[in-house]
Amino acid sequence: MLVSLLRVYALGMMYAKWMLKNKLFYLYLTLFMPFTILVPFYLLVSAPYRSYVAIGTIVLTIFSNSLVTASQDIAVDKIMKRIAVIITKPITSTEYFLGLTISNAMQAFPAVIISILVLISIGILKIYDVAFLTVGLLAAWYVSTAIGFIIGILLSNRDYHTVVLVGNIVSFILVFLAPIYYPPSNLPEPLRTLTLILPSLHVANLIGRSCNVEYGIEVNTSTIYVLALALILTIVIAKKIRLKDIY
């Protein structure tokens, strides 16, 4: 097998344990963070847009969490030089990335699930298609962690602040420049087409499709886009990202 699942699991646990052992942070991420974002947005917007706000917050939670966490994890490990212990073990860049994906999923999964359940119970979201929801969520985790991993590794040396800044900027662009919190039809035309390149929009479209929320994009287009992007990022990580000369 090209990837050792045990290695992926071990690495995922090494990173996730911090969050799992710090109950307060975990509670914050699980319950508090999504709702501190959701409530003001919810109060500010009118009823037709509330489903968009709900989906936007789910995408924001996953993207900001996974992308920024992955890049920060690597940046911190570079500063503390503890990455040396990992990258001198028989681990590939793909296994390292998948380990971080699992870690991120373990950390953000309860938050997202609880958010969705609450949103369903208060009637903001109605799930019609669990398959689309699952694909959308998995794609969000995978793509955002991959981007964060590449940022963390490629921004070489030990400049933690640069890595954090770049991670936050990319995460911000993906979540707030994409028409996720509102229908894309609200954007003027050249911008609307331009935002089609943002993966967060396609992830939102897949999740939206599971709740009958329209983003004006064919579901096949988003599925193909997300799968192709995931494939490209996987190939880039496997073939181009070397666990070498990174600090």
Partner 1 sequence: MACVVVRNLWKKYKNNVIALRGVNFTVKEERLIILAGPNGSGKTTLIRIMDGELSPTRGYVKIEGLSPDEARLKGLFGVMPQEARLYEYLSVREYLYYLALIKGLSRSDARREVNRIIDDFMLSEYADTRIEYLSGGFKRRVLLAQAFIGSPPLVFLDEPTVGLDPEMRVKLWDIIIKYLRENNATAFLVTHYLDEVKEYADRVLVLFRGKLIFDGSPRKLLDVLGYKYRVLVKVTDRCVKVLFSSFNFNDRGNELELYVKNEVELLGVLKIARENEDKVMEVTIKRPSLEESYLRVIGVGKSS
**Residues that bind partner 1 in the complex, under the rule CB under 8 A:** 4, 6-7, 9-11, 13-14, 17-18, 21-22, 80-82, 84-92, 242, 244-245
Q: How far is the CB of 160 from partner 1 (least distance, A)?
A: 14
CB distance 200 to 176 below 8 Å: no
Name which of 99 and 199 has its Cβ closer to partner 1.
99
Name which of 103 and 223 has its Cβ closer to partner 1.
103
Residue that is written with structure tokens 């599971």 in the block: 210
Q: How far is the CB of 247 from partner 1 (least distance, A)?
A: 8
Name which of 7 and 202 has its Cβ closer to partner 1.
7
Q: How far is the CB of 21 from partner 1 (least distance, A)?
A: 5
Mark residue 38 as left, alpha or beta (left: phi above 0; alpha: psi -120 to 50; beta: remaining).
Answer: alpha
Name which of 59 and 100 has its Cβ closer to partner 1.
100
Q: How far is the CB of 191 from partner 1 (least distance, A)?
A: 39
Name which of 21 and 161 has its Cβ closer to partner 1.
21
Q: How far is the CB of 121 from partner 1 (least distance, A)?
A: 34
